[in-house]
Amino acid sequence: MGNSRPEIDDQLIAKYGGPGPRYTSYPTALEFSVEHRAEALIAALHAGNHELIPADLSVYVHVPFCASPCFYCGCNKVITRSSSIGDEYLRHLALEVQRLAAHVASDRKVRQIHLGGGTPTFLNLEQIEQLLTLISDHLVIALDAEISLEIDPRSVTADGLHRLAGMGFNRLSMGVQDLDQRVQQAVNRVHGEQLIDAQIKAARAAGFASISVDLIYGLPHQTRQSFADTMARMIAMRPDRLSLFNYAHMPHKFKAQRQIKAVDLPDADTKLAIFHQSMDQLLAAGYEYIGMDHFALPEDALARARQDGSMVRNFQGYSTLGDLDLLAFGPSAISQVGDTFSQNLHEYRAWCKALAATSTDNAGLAVMRGLTRSAEDRLRADVINAIMCRGALDFASVEAAHNIDFELHFAAELERLQTLQHDGLIRFSGRGLRITPVGQQLLRAIAMVFDSYIHAARSRQTDNSVQRFSRVI
């Protein structure tokens, strides 16, 4: 997509904009089985250690605490003001890191660390430093590792940002959501614009290499005008990356959302108009569209990774570093090692209890479900990754990597893609396909063509994706 957005008509949105997975993994977490145990994760780590060139590592730590609830939130978190809970959490995290890291060969380096949540900055600076030390005591961190955390701008000071940079953090992402005070009050997340501006400046002065900001559209009281103002003010602060998430109102699923009155929400047309005008503003301001809901300045590492084809999609969204095994710690966190996905117990107390138990059942870890991908899953994951990250699919390279005949193997999918070509979402060229600028706005719908689980569920008429996934657009 250049620096103007192609028009996308209502009919295409009605046809392709329905619910769909975000494809942070394939198969998606919905396919995880409770039969999956931590032993499969350990076995995958050992197998990886014995590869000719063992994969390096990415580490994700889920810090599940928040001081107050944001009403739109669908994350796994514990609302608390307890000052001792951070220490309790770190004691259990230490057990988890020790037990898992014991199975990692010492020549495998950590190239990426991300602290997400919840609110990682719920922990005080000493606790965050302890957490990093815990990782470096048990795993080898590469000198040039990307070390990032999510911050709530209300819970860290400019001095705190300098101290975080001193510990080695070099990327941050900040949840802003909206700068309009009325919207902020309606979602119980109030902070002034000056605070955000000051934090971004402080982070830059402290040496953070990439600053990312999250905004949400579809929140109560938002109008086209109010969000255009927020976007203009945000663009003026020039974050390196900007994510624009679609608020999915699912009060039956997320209790906090019951505090949001449905009558205050913008209607579907307004939401779509907000998304399109925001995209126009971002593209006009020089941001590049990365995919899904992500934008970045051309010189940012993510935009460069997209340009050179090295960008991947994983549980944290789009990422610059592929071919890493992901070790994940904390409640609900999902590890991906080789072809195994292993998710921890969701609930904080249950996670603590599993780690505190002296039994060696489940390898002393808190894994509660997961799966091991088949060769077919891996093939489809690669195809979906190419669609989500590269905007193109080269049949010959898929054949070379997976030893298949593409046209034979994907005959049904190629048939389905004819309709998408007719509707202008993709264009076949030679033995491959390219996603058009219109299709770039409907990536999930294109990827879904290759999702055999969705098609199997549809043919059994058990597909309930309306409840399971957010809308594509």
Please work out the total of residues on this chain that contact ligand SF4, with binding judged by CB under 6 A: 11
Which of 73/93 has CB closer to ligand SF4?
73
**119 belongs to the binding site for ligand SF4 (CB under 6 A):** yes
Reading the block at residue 16, the tokens are 């392709």
Cα separations (Å) of 348 from 74, 79, 342, 393? 16, 11, 17, 41
Pick 196 or 449: Cβ nearer ligand SF4: 196
Amino acid at 274: I
Contact flag: residue 152 with ligand SF4 (CB under 6 A): yes
Binding flag, residue 128, ligand SF4 (CB under 6 A): no
Q: Which residue, 26 or 122, is less far from ligand SF4 as judged by CB?
A: 122
Write the secondary structure of the chain as one string of H (helix), E (strand) and C (coil): CCCCCCCCCHHHHHHHCCECCCCCCCCCHHHCECCCCHHHHHHHHHHHHCCCCCCCEEEEEEECEECCCCCCCCCCCEECCCCCHHHHHHHHHHHHHHHHHCCCCCCCEEEEEEEEECCHHHCCHHHHHHHHHHHHHHCEEEEEEEEEEEECHHHCCHHHHHHHHHHCCCEEEEEEECCCHHHHHHCCCCCCHHHHHHHHHHHHHHCCCEEEEEEEECCCCCCHHHHHHHHHHHHHHCCCEEEEEECCCCCCCCHHHHHCCHHHCCCHHHHHHHHHHHHHHHHHCCCEEEECCEEECCCCHHHHHHHHCCCEEECCEEECCCCCEEEEECCCCEEEECCEEEEECCCHHHHHHHHHCCCCHHHHCCEEEEEECCHHHHHHHHHHHHHHHHCEEEHHHHHHHHCCCHHHHCHHHHHHHHHHHHCCCEEECCCEEEECHHHHCCHHHHHHHHCHHHHHHHHCCCCCHHHHCCECC
Q: Which is nearer to ligand SF4, 66 or 183 (CB)?
A: 66
- Least distance CB 67 / ligand SF4 (angstroms): 8
Per-residue x/- track, 159-178, ligand SF4 (CB under 6 A): ----------------x---
Which of these, 68, 85, 153, 169, lies nearest to 123 by C-alpha position?
85
Q: How far, in Å, CA of 35 to CA of 334, rounded?
A: 15
Distance in angstroms (rounded) separating the CA atoms of residues 11 and 16: 9
Q: State yes or no: residue 118 binds ligand SF4 (CB under 6 A).
A: yes
**20 lies in the site for ligand SF4, by CB under 6 A:** no
What is the rounded distance in angstroms from the CA atom of residue 195 to the CA atom of residue 241? 18
Please state the closest distance from residue 280 (CB atom) to ligand SF4, in A.
27
C-alpha 122/C-alpha 119 separation (Å) is 5
Q: Identify residues 65-94 at the interface with ligand SF4 (CB under 6 A).
A: 66, 69-70, 73, 75, 77
Residue numbers at the binding site for ligand SF4 (CB under 6 A): 66, 69-70, 73, 75, 77, 117-119, 152, 175
